[in-house]
Amino acid sequence: MDPYKFLHIKRNADGSLTRPIFVPLTTPSDDPSAAVLSRDVPLDPSRGTWLRLFLPTDPPASQLLPVLTYFHGGGFILFSAASAPFHDSCCQMARKLPALVVSVEYRLAPEHRLPAAYDDAVDAVRWLRRLVDPACPTEAADPWLRGRADFSRCFLAGSSSGGNIAYHAARRLLVEEAEDLRPVVLRGLVLNQPYFGGAERTPSEAASAGDRIVPLAANDLMWELSLPEGDDRDHVFCNPMIHHRRRGTEEEAGRTGQALLPRCLVRGYLGDPLIDRQREFAAMLEEQAAGTVALLDREGFHAVELFDSSKAELLIADIKQFLSDSSLPWQPPPPESAVASSAQGADPVCPSCKY
């Protein structure tokens, strides 16, 4: 099986890809009679990134909505926030959760290898933070978000590679850089069939040569095109689980026993070649997150919700329940420097934990 043909891509001499548009693109709509309004706003014009906002029209204007920042799938190399399946999914989530959905148009590999997509994801969260900065001029603030968003109930969400992006963006913001995002509060991560891998095959991967969505050759190629050049699938971007095992509990102990991440929802299906990795990932989150909801024992295949409306309804029901259950504030751990100062008897400087 030719993975390039399967993925509808062609590798060019300069290393870039030619991507025929085999999935239709959808334009945003501000039709006031629609159940959901949508429009695009720039994120970083120098990088060609932008955001598609989705606002449901049903809830009363006085009701503040949770903010779901969403990252589409496509193995880091395909699709767009404007691709019809992802646009439609965001419309459904905005209407049925309900929520204000921010879908991120991030840069694709191999033209922009990882961590470029993570950089763009972090930029999107910082964009939210800037909107509610008291120094932000009223005329510069987005009217949908400024007037309708509950910034104390923010979530990162993604399907497949988008779930990978959501996880790594959260780790960078909350663990590696320990940013003070207030008044933005990340309450949870919604990781639907998250895309991870490793150099050593799992049983579900080894049996996936003929899979109709993620055949093994295509899986390998997407990682080859996405990871930093010269790195294999045990790179932390692909296999954070093996790095977690190597670290043991040292990182968690250095954080005074507090959870590194907010609550996480991990979903997967038994017929997905990635299911073994998703189980490993959920087990890792048990040691990293404030709580982990793992729904990994249902029948289905990778991206099934894009083909089966009943599975799409189930996905939304799971997310709605998770958002409801994640209503209590979560306090991120202090940065390592603050922990060290506290241990020496000094007052910790911890802007991240003053909620």
Residue 253's pLDDT is 42
Place of tokens 């850089």: 177
Question: What average pLDDT does this structure show over 309-324?
Answer: 97
pTM: 0.91
pLDDT band at 330 (very low <50, low <70, confident <90, very high): low
% of the chain residues with pLDDT over 70: 87
Fold classification of 3-353 (topology level): Rossmann fold (3.40.50)
8 Å CB contact between 237 and 146: no
The answer to whether residue 71 scores a pLDDT higher than 80 is yes
Query: Alpha-carbon dihedral of residues 189, 195, 199, 201, nearest 10 degrees?
Result: 110
Extents of the domains making up the chain: 3-353
The pLDDT-based confidence of 58 (bands split at 50, 70, 90) is confident
What pLDDT, in 10s, does the model give residues 99-153? 999 999 999 999 999 999 999 999 999 999 998 877 776 656 788 888 899 999 9
Percentage with pLDDT > 90 across the chain = 77
pLDDT digits (tens, 9 = 90+) for 200-219: 999 999 999 999 999 999 99
Three-class secondary structure of residue 87 per DSSP: helix
> Which H, E and C letters describe 26-73, residue by residue?
CCCCCCCCCCEEEEEEEEECCCCEEEEEEEECCCCCCCCEEEEEEECC
Max CA distance (Å), the chain: 63
Q: What is the pLDDT of residues 80-103, one digit of tens each?
A: 999 999 999 999 999 999 999 999
Active-site residues, by number, are 160, 272, 302
